[in-house]
Amino acid sequence: MSGTVLLGYDVESASDSTAGFLDGAAELHTRFDVPWSIYLVGTTVEARVDDILRHVDDPLLTIGQHTYSHMLLKSIYMDPRDGKEVHGGAQTYFNPGGALGELEVEIAKTQKVIRDLLGVECEGLTGPWGYYRGLADRELSLLVAIEGARGAIEHKRAELILARQEEQKLLRLEERHATRWREEEARRGHADLDEFAM
């Protein structure tokens, strides 16, 4: 089975470890020539802008966001009912997500911070804590809140798909022309010119 694996990292710490992580990740991805993405919390960008700027021009790197203050896109409730601790020593855990208006502000503010401080456009968003069940239970207006980030991803994805389709179309067209040319030359009795077809 073949497929694509996307490697992305949420960068949410404003500590000195951010620089070491980014340097190590960049070195690893460069060594193996593997694209990577980082999803930045806005407050981390503000606190560690110089550490991040060292990597902005990396051709393998895509920069996205992770909200401004690590605000959840929806509430998280954990209750595994098996008696095991889930977070902070508790057997159940609840962390409220942001209201839609708050999320709009968080996402817009992070877009601006990334654009103003790093000089690049944000190309995606990951939700703090992730959402293994997706965001289907949130209102449609949440999509409006993240439209800028999502739109950038969809635009880039569409460009790549169109480029691949165009490349495949050109290859098919080249092959058709080469086949027609060979057939025409064979009809004229020039089959020995086949080696010059391409």
List the domain boundaries for the chain.
8-138, 146-198
Q: Tell me the C-alpha distance between 131 and 74, whole Å.
A: 9
Supply the pTM of this predicted model. Answer: 0.67
Query: From the first residue on, what is the mean pLDDT of each consecutive set of 10 residues in the chain (198 residues)?
Result: 80 90 95 94 96 96 94 84 78 84 88 95 85 64 54 55 66 73 74 49
pLDDT of residue 156: 55
Residue 130: how many CB atoms within 10 A of its CB? 10
- Beta strands 61-65 and 93-95: pairing type? unpaired
CATH of domain 8-138: 3.20.20.370
Q: Burial letters for 19-31: b for 16+ Cβ neighbours within 10 Å, e otherwise?
A: eebbeebbeebee
pLDDT of residue 197: 46
pLDDT of residue 186: 77
Residue 140: how many CB atoms within 10 A of its CB? 7
pLDDT of residue 170: 67
Q: Tell me the C-alpha distance between 135 and 129, whole Å.
A: 12
- Point out which residues pair with 77 in neighbouring strands: 94
